[in-house]
Structure 1
Amino acid sequence: MTGGMDGHAEDRGRVYQASGDQHITEHHHHGDAAAAGGPDSVRRPAVGQPPVVLRDRAEVLERLIASQRAERGGEVYVLYGMGGCGKTAVAYTLFQRAEAEHGRVGLWVGASDRASLRAGMLAVAADRGAADAELLAARNGLRPAADLVWQYLDRSAEPWLLVLDNADHPEILRDGSWLRSSPRGTVVVTTRRSAARWWPGAELQHIGVLPREDAARVLCDLAPHSGTREQAAEIADRLGRLPLALTLAGGFLSHQVLDPWTMETYGNRLDGEERVELIDQGADALADGDPRHLVGLTWQLTLDAFEARGMSEATALLRLLARLAPEPLPLSLLNQDAIGAVLPRARCESALRALLDQSLTELVEVGVRCVQSHGVLLDSVAAATPADRSPALDSTAVRLLDAAVPALPDAGPHDPGLRLLVPHGPALLRRVADPATSAEALAVVTRLCVALHRTGDYLSAWETARTAAELGERRLGAEHRLVLAARSRAGRALFRLGRYTEAEETLVRVRSAQERLFGADDPDTLDSGHGLQLVLGNLGRPAEALALLRATVAGRRRVLGPEHPLTSRSRSSLLVLLPATDVLTEDDGTLLDLPADCARILGPDHTVTLGAHHNRAWALYQLGRFDAADEEIRLVTEAYRRRFGPDYPIALSAQQLLSRTRTARGDTAAGIELMTDVVARRERGLGSGHPFTVASRRLLEEFASGRWRPPHPPG
C-alpha cells in the first residue's frame, strides 16, 4: 500500500485510510438514509398491560416521585428484588406519573442484553437530538457510543427520567460505562442483582413480596367475583404473595366463563399439584419456601384448564415461547408455516389470545408489535416441559428464527428489527440439547451475525458471534465447522471495530484449524483467509496481505468459479493492494475489466459491482489516468449518496477521492469545495479529533496551500 492512499473502497465498500490513520470500515445502507433510526421507541415502556392498581408501593413511589419535582437531577435509584416481585410495575408507574405530573421526558430502555441496551441508549441519544451521522458513527464503532448518549442527556433542554429495565447482568452496564448520572435527569434501574459493588453511588430500594392484605386485594382487583377478601388472602399466602404468581392466578380466575372457578376451588387445586422447579436466572438460589416455586403451580392449573377445554395449542405455544428469551418477540415470527410442527398455524391466533387472556404473555409495542413473557414463567415452563416434546419445540423454534433472518444478508441500513432477534438466538442455543438441532440453531445465529455486521452494527455482530461460538462449542465441540465459522465471524467484526491485533489472533487460529480439518480450498478456510488479508493490510504488512489475497483469489476460482460474487470480491481487493504497475499485468491484464464483468453478471447496482468501480477508480488515479478516474469516482459517489446518504463513511471516502481527482485535473476550487464538505461532515459525525477527520482536514489544508501533489504515473 502506498503512503498517499486514503479513503478508497474495496470488498463491499471497505474503506482504507492510510497516511498515518489506517482504518477500515464498511458501508451498509440501502434506501433512504433518514430511515436509519428504525422503529426503536424509547418513549413507550416495553410493558404490556399495566397493573390495575399498584398495591403496597406508595412509600417507595412517593420517594421516587419526590426526585421528579423541581427539576431535581443527578440521582440513580436501583429497584431490586426477585423475579416476579413487580419491579417493572413500580418503574412503569413512576414513568407515567413523571411524564403526566412533572413534565419529565420519559425514556425507557431494556437492559437485559448488550445489543438491546446499546440500541435503546442510541435511540435515547437520537431522541435528545443526536444527528444521524453521529449515531451512524457510534453503531460502526467509530466513536464511543456511551459518551455520545450521555453528552446529549447532559445537554437536554428538558428534564428526563431514564429507566433501565431488567438489568440482571450489571456487568453489561459497566462495560462501556453506560450507567452514569446527570444533573438533567434521574436514572432508575430494575434488577435482580442487589450487591452494592454493582451500583456505586446509587440508592438501593428493595421490592419484595406483598403484605397479606395487599396481596389479597390484587386477586380481588383481577377477579372481583371469584370469592371473598379472606379467601383471596388464603390463596395469596399459598402463592407466597409474589405479584407474578398473583397475576397469573387472577388472570385465570377472571376468564373462566362456562364453568367459572371460585377462589376456594382454585385453592383446593393448588393443594393437589406437585411443585414445579424453576431457576430464576440472575437471582440468588431458591430456598424451599421461596414463592417463585409457586409460579409453576399457577400456570399449570391454567394449562390443565386449556387441555380440558380442548385448547392444547395454547399449551404448545407457551412451551414454544419458553424456548426463546423473555424479551420482545416480533409477532411476525410466529406467523410462519413452520409453526405447524407444534400447533396448527390457523390456531395460533386463538392460542395467543388464550395466553394473553390468562396473563401468561402480553403484547408490547416497541415500534413493531411484539409478544413478551416473564422470564421466571418461561424458565419454569421450560423446566416442566416433557422431554419427549422438546425436540419438536426446539426444531420449530429454529425454523421460525431462520425464517426471520435474511437468507442472503447484504449491505443495508441499520435495522432495529434484527436487534429484536438477537437475544432469542443465544437463548435457543442454551435450551437445545440435540447436537443436530444445535448445529442448525448455530447456523441461523451466525447468519444473524452476518446480517448485523452488514448493517454496520459491528458490536452486536461481535458479541452475538462470540456468545454463539461459546454456546455451540458446549454441544458440538471446539472444532465443529459451524463453531469455527462463528468464531471467524467474530474475528471479522473485531476487525471492523479497529481491534486489529485481536482480529488477527482470532482469524489466524480459526483459519489454521479450518485448513487442517477441511483443507486450504474449503470455502470456510477461504472466507477466513479473505478476512485475514484485510487485517494484515491494516497492520502494515502489505506483502503478507497480498500473498494471502492471491491465494484466496486462486482458491475461490477453483472452488466457486471465476464469476462467483465472492471471487469477484477478492479480485476487487487486488485493485487496492497491488502496486500501480502490477494492476496492468495481474490476471493477464484483465483486472481493470472487473467492474464491467461484475455489472454484466451481478448487475450495475450490486454492492460488489460498486465496490469494484470504486477500487478501479483508485487504481486509475494511482496510474495517473486522472480523467478516467474522475469520471468513475463521480458516478460511484453519486450512487453511494443516493443509496447510503451523504454522511455514510463510504460515501465520504468516495467524495474524498473525487476531490483528489478534481484537483489532479487542475480544478483546485472544486477539490477544495468537495473536501470542505467532507471535513464538515466528519467533524459533525466523528468529532474534530477523530483520525478520519484529522486526515481529511490535513488534505484540505494541502489543497488550499498548494502543497498537495498528485501521484506520478508509473514508468
Structure 2
Amino acid sequence: MVWGMAGCGKTAVVQTVFAEAVRDGSVVGLWVNASGLSSFRSGMLAVAHDRGASQDEVDAARTGRRPAADFVWDYLNRSSQPWLLVLDNADDPEVFRDGLWLRTSPRGIVLVTSRHGSAPVWRAAAKHPLDVLKIDDAVDVLRDLTVNAEEQAKLELLASRLGCHPLALSLAGAYLGRQLLESVTVDEYLKRLDVDPSFIDRGAEPGEQDLSRLISSTWQLSLDALAERGTPEATTLLRLISCYAPDPLPAGLLLPAGLDATGLSDADPPLRGEQANRALEGLLSHALVSLLDAPVGPQHPTVRSVQAHPLLLETVAARIPVDQRGILLSAAAGLLRGLLATNGEQRIDPHTLRLFTPHAIHLLRRTTRERVEVQQTALTIVRDLRDRAYDCNDFFAAQVLALEAVRMTRSVVSAEALTDLHEQGRALSGLGRFAEAVEAHSAALRDRQELLGTDHRGTLDSAYALGLALYGLGRWAEDEQCMRRATEGRERVLGPGHPDTIDARSCLAEAIGQQRRWQEARELATSNLRISQEVLGSGDRHTLTARIALAWVLAGIGRWQEAEAHTRETLLGCAQALGEDHPRTLAARQRLADVLSHLEQWPEAEAAARSVRAVRQRSLGEEHPHTLSVEILLSRILRCRGALVEARHQATRVLEACVRVLGDAHPDTGACRRELRAATEALARACGDTDVEPSNDHEDGRS
C-alpha cells in the first residue's frame, strides 16, 4: 500500500505504476475507487464481471444472495491473465468491514492508496509511505508547469513556503503559468498567499468540484471522516496545534491534565483531556500529524513531539471559525505557560527550552494579529523564555525572542518596553554583535533616563550594559565613562557592597587598565576585591569577578606569580559554583592560559587555551569574538613554544576572521596582525634569515 497525507501524490504515483504494468498488455489493469462503501462494492463486482462472471452472478452478489467478497476473489484467482488491482483513495478502512476483501493471490497484486496508514486492516500489507518532495524535485515541478522565467532562488523560496507539498506545488505552478494578460511574479504570489492562505486554490481548474484537489478543503475531508467515525474532537485538537509553529511540538503540551485546565471543553467540537489520546490517534491515522522524537542537543535525550505540515497548519488555522479563535488561542497560551512554569526544583532542561522558542513566537504573532485578550499572556511567555535562554547562555534563542518582544512593544512608551530593548541588547552582546548591542543599549539608556530618571536601577543597568558592549568594540574610553556612571550611581542607590556595584567596579578597573593607567586600575581592583570579600564572602560569584579583574591588572603590570594565584583561585571557584563550561569559568581558564604562557609553562598553557577554544567553538561558534580572542592567544603560545608553522597558519586563518567579524581597526585584529608578523619573522629567523624580538602583547580583560 502507498499511504501519506492528503495531496502528497499517492494516486499520481500509482497511476504511473499502473500504466507501466499494463503497457504491453500482458497484465490486466483493474482500478477501483475505494473512497466509499458503495463505490468500492460496485467497483469490486465490476472486477468480477471483467474476469468472467455473468451478470446474473454479479446481481446475486449485489443483492446479498451470495458472499460478495468470496465471489470476487474466486474470479480473481481463476483469472487467465495476471492482473494489477488498484484500490484507490481507501481513506476509510470501514469500506472493508463486510467480508474479507483484502487477500493475496498468485494471479495478481493488490495496490492500495490511503491517507490512513495505521489501520489494523493493513497489518499484512507492505507499506510505502509517501511524503513531500525534495527541494530540487519541487522546483522541477514548478518549472514543468511553465514557471520558467523565475530565478532558481525564487522558485526554491516558493517551494519552501509551500512545504514542497505536491498538490500545493501543482496548484501554485498552474496559477502562475496560466496568467496570460498580466504575469504574476513569485514575490507577488507569496504576498497574496501571506494575506490569504486559501489563495492557493486559485490554481485549480475552473469549475473543478473535487474538494480533494483544493488545499483549503483537502484536510477537512479527513477531519470529516474522523467526525463521522465518532472522533469530532480531532478537529479541535488539530486547530489547537495550528495555534503553534510548524516545528516539532513537545507532546507534553497535550497531556490530558493540561487540556482539562483550559476552556477547550467549551470549544466546538469540545475537547476534554480524556479524549486527547483518541483524537491524536485519529490525526495520526490520517497522516494529518506525525509523532517523532525531536533532538534537543548532543548528549541529551530526545523529546517526544507532534508535527504537522506547515501548509496544513496554515490552512487549518485560516478556517477556524471566528468565535472559536479566542478560545483556542487562550488554551494554547495557557498550555504553554503551564508547561513552562517552574515547580520547586523541577525545571525544564535548557536544551529542551529551545524547542518552545518558535511556538512562543508564533503564538505571540497569532494573538497580535487576531487582537485577542490573551496577547499579553503570549508576550509574557516570550519574555520568560527570553530570560531563561539568556541565563542558560543560549544567546541565539534569547536574541530571537528578544527581537520578537521588541517588535511588539517598540511603539509603546513604558518601563516594560524599555526592558525589552535592554534585553535585546544583552542578547546581541552575548552573540558578539557588539555594534548592534551598542545601538540598542544607547537607545535604552537615553529613553530610560528620560522616563525613569538618572539614578533609576534600570538606567544604571543600561549604562553598565552599554559599557560592556563598548568594551567588546575596544572603545575603552567610552567604556570607562559608562562604567564610571554605573559604578557611582550604584554606589549611591545600592551601596558600595551591593553585587551590582562590585561587578560595575570590576569592569571599570579593566576599562582603566586597557588605557594603561595601571596604578589607578590596581588600586580600584584591590579595594573592590576587599569590599566584596567583606560583604559577600570569598566564594561568592561576584567576589570571583572582582578577583579575576585584579588578576588581569596584576598581569598587566608584570606581577605574574600574583596574577597566577588569583587566577587559579578564581578558576576553581567558578568551576565549583558555575560549572566547567560556564562563560565566567572559560574566561578564568583563558586568563590562566595567558598568565602561564608568560611564566613559560607551555604545556599547561596550551592545554588550557585549547580547552577554552573547543567549548567556545561548540557553544558560540568559530567566529564569535570570544572564540577569536582565545585563538589569538593560542597562536602566541604555539609561536613561543616553537611550533612556528602551526602558529603562522593559525594566525593567518584567525586574522581573516578578525577582519571580517571585528573590522580592521579593532584591537584584537591589531593583536592578531602583530602575532602573524611575529610568527612569520620567527619562522624566517629559524630558517637563518632575520632576527626578531618576541611579542609581549598582553591579552585583554573581559573575554
TM-score range, shorter chain: 0.5 to 0.7
The alignment status of 1:365 with 2:321, answered yes or no, reads no
Q: Deviations over 1:210-232 (max 9, x none)?
A: 9xxxxxxxxxxxxxxxxxxxxxx
**8 Å Cα contact 2:593/2:606 also seen in 1:** no
Structure-2 separation of matches of 1:393 and 1:661: 59
Offset of residue 536 of structure 1: 1.7
Which position in structure 2 is the counterpart of 1:676? 606
Structure-2 separation of matches of 1:353 and 1:284: 31
Structure-2 separation of matches of 1:385 and 1:651: 51
Structure-2 separation of matches of 1:393 and 1:204: 29
The alignment status of 1:327 with 2:271, answered yes or no, reads no
**8 Å Cα contact 1:613/1:632 also seen in 2:** yes
Structure-1 separation of matches of 2:252 and 2:433: 36
Q: Deviations over 1:459-488 (max 9, x none)?
A: 443334324422x14xx7354544443333
Which position in structure 1 is the counterpart of 2:386? 449
**8 Å Cα contact 1:314/1:352 also seen in 2:** no
Taking the TM superposition and a 5 Å limit, the aligned residue runs for 1:102-251 are 196-199=150-153, 208-209=166-167
Q: 1:597 and 1:687, CA in 2 relative to 1: closer, same or farther beyond 3 A?
A: same
Offset of residue 203 of structure 1: 14
- RCO greater where, 1 or 2, for CA within 8 Å and sep 6 or more? 1
What TM-score does the superposition give when structure 1 sets the normalisation length?
A: 0.52
What SS class does the counterpart of residue 341 from structure 1 fall into? coil
**8 Å Cα contact 1:336/1:400 also seen in 2:** no
What SS class does the counterpart of residue 365 from structure 1 fall into? strand
Structure-2 separation of matches of 1:657 and 1:556: 28
Q: 1:555 and 1:356, CA in 2 relative to 1: closer, same or farther beyond 3 A?
A: farther
Point out the structure with the larger helix share: 2
Structure-2 separation of matches of 1:164 and 1:581: 69
Structure-2 separation of matches of 1:638 and 1:50: 59
Structure-1 separation of matches of 2:393 and 2:422: 17
Q: 1:655 aligns with which of 581, 589, 592?
A: 589
Offset of residue 417 of structure 1: 1.7
Offset of residue 299 of structure 1: 5.8
Structure-2 separation of matches of 1:466 and 1:617: 36
Structure-2 separation of matches of 1:587 and 1:633: 14
Which position in structure 2 is the counterpart of 1:419? 354
Q: 1:57 and 1:490, CA in 2 relative to 1: closer, same or farther beyond 3 A?
A: farther
Structure-2 separation of matches of 1:611 and 1:190: 55
What SS class does the counterpart of residue 305 from structure 2 fall into? strand
What SS class does the counterpart of residue 696 from structure 1 fall into? helix
Identity %: 26
What SS class does the counterpart of residue 325 from structure 1 fall into? coil
Give the aligned residue type for 1:698.
R
Structure-2 separation of matches of 1:300 and 1:59: 26
Q: Deviations over 1:354-386 (max 9, x none)?
A: 133244533222121011233344334433444
**8 Å Cα contact 2:253/2:339 also seen in 1:** yes
> Where does structure 1 lack aligned partners over 5 or more consecutive residues?
1-46, 62-85, 87-162, 169-186, 211-276
Q: 1:280 aligns with which of 177, 197, 218?
A: 197
Offset of residue 647 of structure 1: 7.7
Which position in structure 1 is the counterpart of 2:470? 536
Q: 1:402 and 1:368, CA in 2 relative to 1: closer, same or farther beyond 3 A?
A: same
Taking the TM superposition and a 5 Å limit, the aligned residue runs for 1:631-670 are 631-638=565-572, 651=585, 653-662=587-596, 667-668=599-600, 670=601
Which position in structure 1 is the counterpart of 2:377? 440
Structure-2 separation of matches of 1:291 and 1:317: 22
What TM-score does the superposition give when structure 2 sets the normalisation length?
A: 0.53
> Where does structure 2 lack aligned partners over 5 or more consecutive residues?
18-88, 90-129, 169-193, 295-301, 643-681, 683-692, 699-703
What SS class does the counterpart of residue 56 from structure 1 fall into? helix
Which position in structure 1 is the counterpart of 2:221? 298
Offset of residue 559 of structure 1: 6.0
Structure-1 separation of matches of 2:519 and 2:545: 21
Offset of residue 441 of structure 1: 1.9
Which position in structure 2 is the counterpart of 1:430? 365
Q: 2:309 aligns with which of 357, 364, 374?
A: 374
Q: 1:341 and 1:292, CA in 2 relative to 1: closer, same or farther beyond 3 A?
A: same
* Largest Rg, 1 or 2: 2
Structure-2 separation of matches of 1:547 and 1:317: 56
Structure-2 separation of matches of 1:446 and 1:48: 38
**8 Å Cα contact 1:465/1:486 also seen in 2:** yes
Q: 1:683 and 1:631, CA in 2 relative to 1: closer, same or farther beyond 3 A?
A: closer
Which position in structure 1 is the counterpart of 2:29? none
Which position in structure 2 is the counterpart of 1:489? 423
Q: 1:300 and 1:315, CA in 2 relative to 1: closer, same or farther beyond 3 A?
A: closer
Q: 1:653 and 1:560, CA in 2 relative to 1: closer, same or farther beyond 3 A?
A: closer
Offset of residue 527 of structure 1: 3.4
What SS class does the counterpart of residue 332 from structure 2 fall into? helix
Q: 1:503 and 1:207, CA in 2 relative to 1: closer, same or farther beyond 3 A?
A: closer
Structure-1 separation of matches of 2:132 and 2:420: 30
Which position in structure 2 is the counterpart of 1:629? 563
